[in-house]
């Protein structure tokens, strides 16, 4: 062994993960794709010739020379075998891209090491030799003529190598959340903060979410997905989704020190599976706790196979530090994404005081005690309706329900977080004949909700032709892509923002800024719902 040998990026990471897939009956349900070595041409899609030539020499170096070679980089360890392993890791990612792009499989995960997202054009870094996912993105663009690739990096470290590679490239949208602690945490880079949004033509196509505290939980992760990543991803409309799937962001990891449970990865995976017509390739990055790593891998693979996600526990809303990050990221990107155009704007006029609102809500609840505490009704319509006064009845009055971007924004920023917090046993989806919502939007909605909750669909008389596309979404087919979305109507965005502001005291996952929490912390309406859990239903129209 080379000294200092890496204590955490160890071969057991792969063996325990693979054994867990076998033990849970998941390996048998997967198609195994043979690996290949990435070629020089593949590696040169991202790395410099000088760097490749230098790494090529490492298998022949003396241990002393290897140690010397290693010292020029940060936090990386070269073993005589690592060049071979690194070629296989990048090659595995490319084999997966080929399998998905040719339709051999719908999606997949590559279990590889060494990881890749820290390595740069001419430098190894952070246990990474070749940037597996960056190479895969360039390869997919080149070989399949893809116009837009989304890279979601849920590893707990910032994949600065990926950021540098695509910083000025608008065809690759890179999203990363990472432990940052105001630049105190490795790799301690100024450019990992939320204000690094991309350069030149790529401005807006690099999204950094810094975690400035440890201990982030399921709610924090889901909030960022609902209020940043998903709206932007749908607006971007990728042809392929690549995931830098590091599981050091799960509980128990010695590097991350976060508190998200392994089953959150089922949800993160599910929420990405209806983008790009379902074409998703996850590639392992970090993850060093040999208990939570295999559990997280299994959650991811099980969801990719189409199994429903387990209910996530303890969704008690994002913490103050996460809200601050969320607010900063949304504000930094509002000039680039129409779905964020209103982010960070002060609360819209609200003529009810919190106290008045609480009383109104209670009165309303008393009148409807039997219905509305067991059921949340979210009603999309283009008709003006009386102002919402109860947390369980939510009329969403969009000027144009028919408009995919406004409707989708309501689904991602309102319905999903509300659903997560309410945790319904059943979702009843009712599509009115005159709703104007087109089939593909309906399929997206069905696909997103299905797999998270049990969904019952209700069709009206004369809607027979609507059944087939919806049924395919229910059966687990990925919904067709909606195409690049134009800006939602400003009036509709305003309606949604107003609604979110109004409801965020009751539904914490609707929050996107920190200030509100402090202002409204005294209104905490206690509803004991536990005895009625089984009857909880979300209805949407």
Q: How many Cβ atoms sit within 10 Å of the Cβ of residue 287?
A: 27
The DSSP-derived string for 301-368 is: HHHHTTPPPPPPS------HHHHHHHHHHHHHHTTT-GGGTTTTPPPPP--S-HHHHHHHHHHHHHHT
252 binds ligand Q9C (CB under 6 A): no
What part of residues 481-500 is at the interface with ligand Q9C (CB under 6 A)? none
155 binds ligand Q9C (CB under 6 A): yes
The tokens 């046993």 sit on which residue?
Answer: 425
Residue 204 touches which member of Zn ion, ligand Q9C, none, C-beta under 5-8 Å by kind: none
Query: 263, 247 in Cβ contact below 8 A?
Result: no
463 binds ligand Q9C (CB under 6 A): no
Nearer to ligand Q9C, 4 or 462 (CB): 4
The tokens 């979210």 sit on which residue?
Answer: 378
What part of residues 155-174 is at the interface with Zn ion (CB under 5 A)? 155, 157
115 binds ligand Q9C (CB under 6 A): yes
* Residue from 47, 79, 117, 118 carrying the catalytic annotation: 118
Q: Which residue is nearest to ligand Q9C (CB)?
A: 286
Q: How many Cβ atoms sit within 10 Å of the Cβ of residue 346?
A: 8
| Only segment of 10-18, 106-114, 185-193, 245-253 that touches Zn ion (CB under 5 A) | 245-253
Query: 305, 21 in Cβ contact below 8 A?
Result: no
Shortest Å distance, C-beta 91 to ligand Q9C: 18
Shortest Å distance, C-beta 110 to ligand Q9C: 14
Shortest Å distance, C-beta 157 to Zn ion: 4
User: Site for ligand Q9C (CB under 6 A): which residue of 47, 87, 106, 118?
Assistant: 118
Distance between CA atoms of 530 and 534, rounded to whole angstroms? Answer: 8
**Residues written for the chain:** 541
Nearer to ligand Q9C, 25 or 254 (CB): 254
Enumerate the H helices of 334-479 as residue ranges: 354-367, 369-372, 404-410, 416-422, 439-449, 467-474
Shortest Å distance, C-beta 130 to ligand Q9C: 12
126 binds ligand Q9C (CB under 6 A): yes
Shortest Å distance, C-beta 199 to ligand Q9C: 24
Shortest Å distance, C-beta 55 to ligand Q9C: 17
Number of chain residues interacting with ligand Q9C (CB under 6 A): 14
**Element housing 236 (H / E):** helix 230-236
Which string of x and - marks every residue 338-367 that binds ligand Q9C (by CB under 6 A)?
------------------------------
Report the first-to-last Cα separation within the chain, whole angstroms.
Answer: 63
User: Site for Zn ion (CB under 5 A): which residue of 248, 263, 365, 497?
Assistant: 248
**Whether 118 is catalytic:** yes
Residue 452 touches which member of Zn ion, ligand Q9C, none, C-beta under 5-8 Å by kind: none
Residue 441 touches which member of ligand Q9C, Zn ion, none, C-beta under 5-8 Å by kind: none
Nearer to ligand Q9C, 8 or 237 (CB): 8
Distance between CA atoms of 314 and 305, rounded to whole angstroms? Answer: 25
Rg (CA), the chain: 24
Which string of x and - marks every residue 275-314 that binds ligand Q9C (by CB under 6 A)?
----------xx----------------------------
Shortest Å distance, C-beta 253 to Zn ion: 8
75 binds ligand Q9C (CB under 6 A): yes
Distance between CA atoms of 163 and 187, rounded to whole angstroms? Answer: 13
User: Site for ligand Q9C (CB under 6 A): which residue of 51, 73, 83, 127?
Assistant: 127
Distance between CA atoms of 304 and 283, rounded to whole angstroms? Answer: 13
Q: Could you give the C-alpha distances from 524 to 72, 410, 512, in angstroms and in order? A: 55, 25, 18
The tokens 């990543």 sit on which residue?
Answer: 229
Query: Which string of b and e fits 254-283 if b means at least 16 CB within 10 Å?
Result: ebbbbbbbbbbbbbbbbbbbbbbbbbbbbb
User: Site for ligand Q9C (CB under 6 A): which residue of 91, 108, 202, 246?
Assistant: 246
Shortest Å distance, C-beta 156 to Zn ion: 5
Nearer to Zn ion, 69 or 186 (CB): 186
Query: 245, 284 in Cβ contact below 8 A?
Result: yes
Query: 208, 491 in Cβ contact below 8 A?
Result: no
Peptide bond into 187 cis (omega under 30): yes
Binding residues for ligand Q9C (CB under 6 A): 75, 115, 118, 126-128, 155, 157, 186, 246, 248, 255, 285-286
Active site residues: 118
Binding residues for Zn ion (CB under 5 A): 155, 157, 246, 248, 286
């Amino acid at each position: 062994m080379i000294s200092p040998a890496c204590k955490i990026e160890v071969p057991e990471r792969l063996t325990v993960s693979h054994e867990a897939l076998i033990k849970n009956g998941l390996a048998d349900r997967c198609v195994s794709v043979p690996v290949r070595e990435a070629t020089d041409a593949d590696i040169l899609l991202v790395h410099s010739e000088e760097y490749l030539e230098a790494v090529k020499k490492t298998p022949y170096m003396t241990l002393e020379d290897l140690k010397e070679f290693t010292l020029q980089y940060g936090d990386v360890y070269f073993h005589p075998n690592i060049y071979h392993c690194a070629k296989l890791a990048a090659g595995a990612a490319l084999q997966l891209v080929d399998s998905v792009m040719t339709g051999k499989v719908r999606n997949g995960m590559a279990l590889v090491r060494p990881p890749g997202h820290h390595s740069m054009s001419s430098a190894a870094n952070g246990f990474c030799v070749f940037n597996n996912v960056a190479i895969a993105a360039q390869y997919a663009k080149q070989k399949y003529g893809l116009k837009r690739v989304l890279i979601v990096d849920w590893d707990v470290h910032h994949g600065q190598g990926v950021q540098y590679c695509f910083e000025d490239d608008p065809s690759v949208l890179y999203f990363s959340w990472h432990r940052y602690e105001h630049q105190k945490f490795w790799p301690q880079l100024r450019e990992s903060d939320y204000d690094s949004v991309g350069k030149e033509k790529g401005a807006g196509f690099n999204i950094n979410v810094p975690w400035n505290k440890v201990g982030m939980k399921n709610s924090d992760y889901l909030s960022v997905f609902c209020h940043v990543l998903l709206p932007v991803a749908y607006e971007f409309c990728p042809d392929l989704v690549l995931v830098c799937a590091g599981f050091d962001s799960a509980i128990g990891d010695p590097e991350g020190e976060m508190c998200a449970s392994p089953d959150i990865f089922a949800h993160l995976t599910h929420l990405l599976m209806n983008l790009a017509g379902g074409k998703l390739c996850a590639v392992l990055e970090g993850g060093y706790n040999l208990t939570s790593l295999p559990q997280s891998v299994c959650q991811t693979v099980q969801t990719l196979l189409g199994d429903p996600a387990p209910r996530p526990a303890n969704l008690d809303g994002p913490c103050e530090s996460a809200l601050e990050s969320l607010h900063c990221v949304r504000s930094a990107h509002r000039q680039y994404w129409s779905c964020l155009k209103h982010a960070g704007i002060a609360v819209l006029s609200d003529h009810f005081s919190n106290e008045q609102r609480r009383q109104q809500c209670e009165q309303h609840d008393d009148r409807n005690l039997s219905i509305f505490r067991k059921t949340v009704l979210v009603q999309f319509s283009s008709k003006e309706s009386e102002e919402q006064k109860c947390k369980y009845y939510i009329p969403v009055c969009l000027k144009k329900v028919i408009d995919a971007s406004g409707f989708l924004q309501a689904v991602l920023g309102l319905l999903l977080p509300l659903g997560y917090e309410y945790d319904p046993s059943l979702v009843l989806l009712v599509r009115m004949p005159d709703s104007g919502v087109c089939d593909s939007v309906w399929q997206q909605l069905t696909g997103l909700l299905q797999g998270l909750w049990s969904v019952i669909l209700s069709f009206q008389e004369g809607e027979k032709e609507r059944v087939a596309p919806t049924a395919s979404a229910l059966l687990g087919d990925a919904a067709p892509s909606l195409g690049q979305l134009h800006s939602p109507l400003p009036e509709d965005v305003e309606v949604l923002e107003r609604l979110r502001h109004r409801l965020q005291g009751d539904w914490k996952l609707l929050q996107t800024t920190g200030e509100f929490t402090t202002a409204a912390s005294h209104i905490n309406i206690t509803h004991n719902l536990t005895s009625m859990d089984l009857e909880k239903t979300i209805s949407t129209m």
